[in-house]
A and B are shown apart, each in its own frame.
Chain A
Amino acid sequence: MQHGKYRFIVGFLAAPLALYALFVIWPFIQSIYYSFTDWTGLSPEFGMVGFDNYSRMLDDEIFWKSFQHSLILALVLPLVTVGLALFFAFMLNVGGRRRRGAAIAGVRGSSFYKIVYFFPQVLSIAIVALLFQFAYNPNSGAINSVLKGVGLGSIQPDWLGDPDLALICVMVVLVWSTVGFFVVLFSAGMASIPRDFYEAALLDGASRFTTFFKITLPLLWDTVQSGWIYMGILALGAESFAVVQIMTVGPSGGGPDYSTIVLPLYVYQKAFRDGQAAYATTIGVALLVLTLAFAAVVTKLGRRERLEF
């Protein structure tokens, strides 16, 4: 039966691999190539400049600011989002009181909560960002109005207009809009954990806390790890770009005093506002390196013995 196996595999893989090479690998190679030129993005002419763009990048204060913010997003956002999602998913699936003879169940109304959590996911991130921009309006926005309404009228922050708060405001929106996806993802993962494990734990008198850390989390680890990487990539890439570009202040986003600028936004500004496409690809390369490093570290640190059940 081994006859023709390789022909079979090659036959099936050739087309996707070719597409992958054309649309994924080739743009990477091209971008890296352009990062060694002085291409402006506004004319077809350019010349080679060697490592000029790279040495310029290392001296660029704004680049380091955006690098720092991207790094914060990549570290904090997965922690908060995945943590919250795990908590919600556990409560929805396992955390409820026992009733109707079922050994494990979610909290009351869990199927309703599932929809509520997932709801932001059906909104385009652009709409989410716009909605929150209105909510954060310091004069007539929902948040400050609520503060006033509950008698906290003396606390009226500028939210997105305040460099100390702007990045946090952005992170809150990102968490809000993505946590639902992970709740559903982890719920699906928890559904595949055999129920007898939980029943056994209950018989032994384990608390919810113990059940979560001794049973749920270890058995869910692979899903959590992919979720972690996925969230980190979102935080480094497109999602953070959209939110920062739409919500925060400045000519094309970036916050007061560069307080929310992130790498993808800086790429955008350099390429499409300043006419420095080559320099933008250089920052793009830095973003690529950062993303790969993040994924590598998480994979390495997260490696565990695989549990069979």
Chain B
Amino acid sequence: MGSTSAHTNEGLGRRDLIKRSAAIGLISVPTMGFLSACASSDSGGNGKVEKGTKSEKNPLGVNESAPLDFVLFDGGFGQQYAKDAVKVYETNYPKATVKFTPTQKITTTLQPRFNGGNPPDLIDNSGAEQMDMGVLVGQKQLADLTPLLDAPSVDDPSKKVRDTLRPGIVEMGQFDGEQCWILNYAYTVYGVWYSQKLLDSLDAKYPETWDEMLAVCEKAKRKGIAGWTYAGKHPYYVPFSLYPMIGKVGGREVLDAIDNLEPKAWEHPAVKACFEAYYELVQKGYILKGTPGLDHIQSQTAWTEGKALFIPNGSWVENEAAKTMPADFGLSVSAPTGIDASDKLPFGTIWAAGGEPFIVPAKAANAEGGMEQLRIMLSESSSKNFTQSVKSLTALNGGTDGIELSPGLKSGVAALEKAGQNVVNPRLQDWYVALQKEKIGVAGIGEMMAGRATPAETIKKIQKYADEAAKDSSIKHYKH
């Protein structure tokens, strides 16, 4: 269905199908037929491979000759890092063959296989077609990764894998209870991204209070530069700096209440203060003109061209915007600006969290193999390889020593150091995708940032969406 040119599974181009069926009502067939086409066939051949013998070199007991089936989302991070890790697996287990499938169509490729009961052994479930994790967990389709977390790490057998991970990685893989279903391989720093060079040319430094922020924007405006731009067509990028700001102003518990879908969570004064602060940017004309009609690439390009000072984004932006970013751009990230000195948390409070979620299906034939592949990827050498080639941190804590960091990455690491314990991790975007992206993001914050709704209206609207989600029995609810 993602393909607009043809429903290849039906053997007819879409246009052909339509034209041949000028008869009444047939047009609904592609929509509905496709759904049924991937419907419940009985689980075919539930052949799990036999376990191998555990040893020091093989702590998970991988069957050394069993094939491994690995499906990777081929997105912003590309596929080379995973290919390199697969090579290590093949070296360690020469009798095993690895079937490696990079794809951008995760759901299209995998939904039928989950329905058929023969999913692959390891999946990077990411991208626009990401499968809903909550549903997968709820339907008991995922394997518990605890054996992996308790296995010794590749580099130091005296340490468990779980002790080598960055803060928050294990928690992000848990839903309720102790089991860990997901391992986020990348580690993303969210915040306000800017060009140090442009800021220097304005003779300004990164603002720590909102009054300073307004002053910097005013200065930029006088030089014909907009203060802010953002992915107007995907306004759910705005929370990357707005949510940690709420956390800084009102404390973590405000964000937790929002995640827990508590009634009136959005009516907290901190939320109101931050929404009003952002709305002030709109009203004073500090947002790049036309921003509500730009997508993420277009807004990033306008920003790298120096048309706007700040953009809320994640650390993938360095790789994604590399093509248009001048060499002397001086890419930097900062924790969000707060309101003033009365904020609950100090300046530096930042949002950082795992990204690029890897899963091992419960019905995988070679689940041990999938986990072993992950264990290899979490080794220091694989992690360094990833960091160097795609300019992003991994879940492995450290692993950046001795490699030259790109400017954005360096500034990300510095921001994390400055934040110390003050790292927040709002969970809305992995717990309630539709609520976060479409309702709060596009319909709520997007309309406010386009200047078409006031903060008060927006908060009321978002609170209503959150209340509806809390009542909706068709989605699974989670708590901190």
Chain A residues proximal to chain B, CB less than 8 Å: 23-24, 26-28, 30-31, 34, 39-46, 56, 124-126, 129, 136-140, 144, 156, 158-163, 226, 229-230, 233-234, 236-239, 241-242, 245-246, 248-252, 254, 256-258, 264, 267-269, 271-277, 279-281, 284-285, 287-288, 291-292, 295-296, 299
A16 to chain B, nearest CB (A): 12
Cβ of B47 under 8 Å from chain A: no
Cβ of B438 under 8 Å from chain A: yes
Set B29, B116, B140, B447: member contacting A163, Cβ < 8 A: B447
Inter-chain contact A161/B298, CB cutoff 8 Å: no
- Whether A251 touches B114, Cβ cut-off 8 Å, given contacts A257-B442, A276-B474, is no
Closest residue of chain B to A226 (Cβ to Cβ) is B22
Among B86-94, B129-137, B249-257, B392-400, the one that faces the other chain is: B129-137
Inter-chain contact B233/A161, CB cutoff 8 Å: yes
Complex Cα gap A124–B18 (Å): 13
A-B contacts, 17 listed (Cβ < 8 Å): A24-B29, A28-B29, A31-B36, A44-B40, A125-B4, A126-B4, A137-B294, A156-B289, A161-B290, A161-B292, A162-B450, A233-B26, A238-B31, A269-B434, A276-B474, A279-B474, A281-B36
- Whether A251 touches B437, Cβ cut-off 8 Å, given contacts A39-B39, A258-B443, is yes
Inter-chain contact A280/B35, CB cutoff 8 Å: yes
| Residues of chain A within 8 A of B28, CB atoms compared | 28, 237, 284, 287-288, 291
Set A44, A124, A288: member contacting B25, Cβ < 8 A: A288
| Residues of chain B within 8 A of A44, CB atoms compared | 40-43, 114-117
Cβ of B441 under 8 Å from chain A: yes
Which of A242, A258, A284: most chain B Cβ within 10 A?
A284
Complex Cα gap A277–B32 (Å): 10
Chain B residues proximal to chain A, CB less than 8 Å: 1-2, 4-5, 10, 14-15, 18, 22, 24-33, 35-43, 107-108, 111, 114-117, 128-129, 131-132, 134-136, 138-141, 232-234, 236, 288-290, 292-295, 298, 302, 433-434, 437-438, 441-443, 446-447, 450, 452, 474-475
Set A27, A246, A279, A281: member contacting B29, Cβ < 8 A: A27
Inter-chain contact B24/A229, CB cutoff 8 Å: yes
Complex Cα gap A163–B293 (Å): 11
Set A158, A233, A280: member contacting B450, Cβ < 8 A: A158
Secondary structure class of chain A's binding surface, majority of residues? helix
Set A34, A46, A162: member contacting B293, Cβ < 8 A: A162
Known contacts A42-B132, A237-B18; 12 additional CB pairs below 8 A are A27-B37, A43-B115, A139-B288, A237-B27, A249-B442, A249-B446, A251-B437, A256-B443, A256-B446, A281-B32, A284-B28, A284-B32
| Residues of chain A within 8 A of B1, CB atoms compared | 268, 271-272
Complex Cα gap A287–B115 (Å): 25
Inter-chain contact A238/B14, CB cutoff 8 Å: yes
Closest residue of chain B to A261 (Cβ to Cβ) is B438
Complex Cα gap A37–B37 (Å): 16
Inter-chain contact B233/A160, CB cutoff 8 Å: yes
| Residues of chain B within 8 A of A236, CB atoms compared | 27
| Residues of chain A within 8 A of B30, CB atoms compared | 237-238
Closest residue of chain B to A279 (Cβ to Cβ) is B474
Which of A27, A125, A144, A267: most chain B Cβ within 10 A?
A27
Closest residue of chain B to A31 (Cβ to Cβ) is B32
Set A23, A139, A287, A291: member contacting B294, Cβ < 8 A: A139
Inter-chain contact B139/A40, CB cutoff 8 Å: yes
Complex Cα gap A229–B22 (Å): 8
Complex Cα gap A169–B437 (Å): 23
Inter-chain contact B32/A124, CB cutoff 8 Å: no
Inter-chain contact B22/A27, CB cutoff 8 Å: no
Closest residue of chain A to B112 (Cβ to Cβ) is A41
Inter-chain contact A139/B447, CB cutoff 8 Å: no
Inter-chain contact B434/A273, CB cutoff 8 Å: yes
Complex Cα gap A31–B15 (Å): 22
Inter-chain contact A27/B33, CB cutoff 8 Å: yes
Complex Cα gap A137–B292 (Å): 10
Closest residue of chain A to B139 (Cβ to Cβ) is A43
| Residues of chain A within 8 A of B139, CB atoms compared | 40, 42-43, 45
| Residues of chain A within 8 A of B117, CB atoms compared | 44
Complex Cα gap A46–B141 (Å): 13
Which of A28, A43, A254, A271: most chain B Cβ within 10 A?
A43
Top 10 nearest A-B pairs (CB, nearest first) are A161-B293, A275-B135, A249-B233, A138-B290, A27-B33, A138-B293, A237-B27, A275-B132, A161-B292, A30-B36
| Residues of chain B within 8 A of A126, CB atoms compared | 4-5
| Residues of chain A within 8 A of B433, CB atoms compared | 251, 273-274
Set A46, A159, A271, A292: member contacting B35, Cβ < 8 A: A271
Complex Cα gap A168–B443 (Å): 18
A152 to chain B, nearest CB (A): 15
Inter-chain contact B29/A42, CB cutoff 8 Å: no
Which of B1, B37, B111, B438: most chain A Cβ within 10 A?
B438
Inter-chain contact B111/A42, CB cutoff 8 Å: yes
B389 to chain A, nearest CB (A): 28
| Residues of chain A within 8 A of B32, CB atoms compared | 27-28, 31, 281, 284-285, 287-288
